[in-house]
Amino acid sequence: MAKLNLKLMQEKLAKLNKKTGGSYLKIEDGKKNLPLRIVPDKDGDPFKEFYFHYRMGEGYGSVLCPKMNSNGRESCAICDFVATLYKGGEVEKEHAKEIKAKNRYYSNVIDRENEGDGVQTWGYSKTVYRKLIETCLDEEYGDITDIDEGFDLRVSKTKDSGKAWFEVNFTPSRKESSLSDDPEKVEKWVESQPDISFKEYTSEEVEDILEQYIATTTGVEGEESRGGGDDTEDKKNKMDAIRQQLSGD
Ligand SMILES: [Zn+2]
């Protein structure tokens, strides 16, 4: 009788453990120096980029842009609408900025203060994304996700005086470390990390969403053109909310 193929069993288990859409890391406002460790991805790219149209979908949810996420292979009615808005006046341009596709980045991480929570997905801004890549290319650090000789990050979510929203930033730890001293933990975290993915929309679905959006916002637009101080305030709050959303939880 053939021996049980242990490697195959391990692969089967890893597949079972592989979560789709894990939990998202929530960083408290004002938090300083939260130690996070990025878990390496098997495809060699632990920093995932996605483009969203914010406050567009059902209940003002975000919509993954089919065009930007396919390098332009698919079309996107919202992007086309944004291009038209940019040809308009100031109000239209502001509106375009609000709904144009914006990028957001994601990595799977271990929160050192709550390792028991396992691998969580951390969403962050372009500023943080750039810094993560720069750190990996910095020869004093190199691959910060290396399971043996990587680096933890110290992540803070602070608000500069005069600003309305919190911003996330990090400094890499100066000391290299392993993902964990326990090889079983390392294997579990790497093998069972969640797939970072979001609901995808076809070009046709996005067209419907845009139609719905235009139908429900036309009334608001009419009020805006009639003027009034509150509208500006409202718009400002809306923009702040989007920035907050973008600057990262
Ligand atoms: Zn788009």
**Residue ranges per structural domain of the chain:** 19-227+234-247
For residue 7, the CA-to-ligand 1 centroid distance in Å is 43
For residue 127, the CA-to-ligand 1 centroid distance in Å is 21
Task: Report every protein residue that has its C-beta within 5 angstroms of ion ligand 1.
Answer: 65, 67, 76, 78-79, 101
For residue 225, the CA-to-ligand 1 centroid distance in Å is 26
- 164-179 mean pLDDT: 95
For residue 27, the CA-to-ligand 1 centroid distance in Å is 28
* Cα–Cα dist 201/196, whole Å: 16
Q: How many helices (H) and strands (E) does the chain have?
A: 7, 7
Handedness of CA 25, 45, 168, 115 (dihedral sign): positive
Encode pLDDT of 95-135 as tens digits.
999 999 999 999 999 999 999 999 999 999 999 999 999 99
- Range 19-227+234-247 classified under CATH 3.90.198.10: yes
Encode pLDDT of 180-236 as tens digits.
999 999 999 999 899 998 889 999 999 999 999 988 876 544 444 334 444 555 555
* Cα–Cα dist 212/141, whole Å: 48
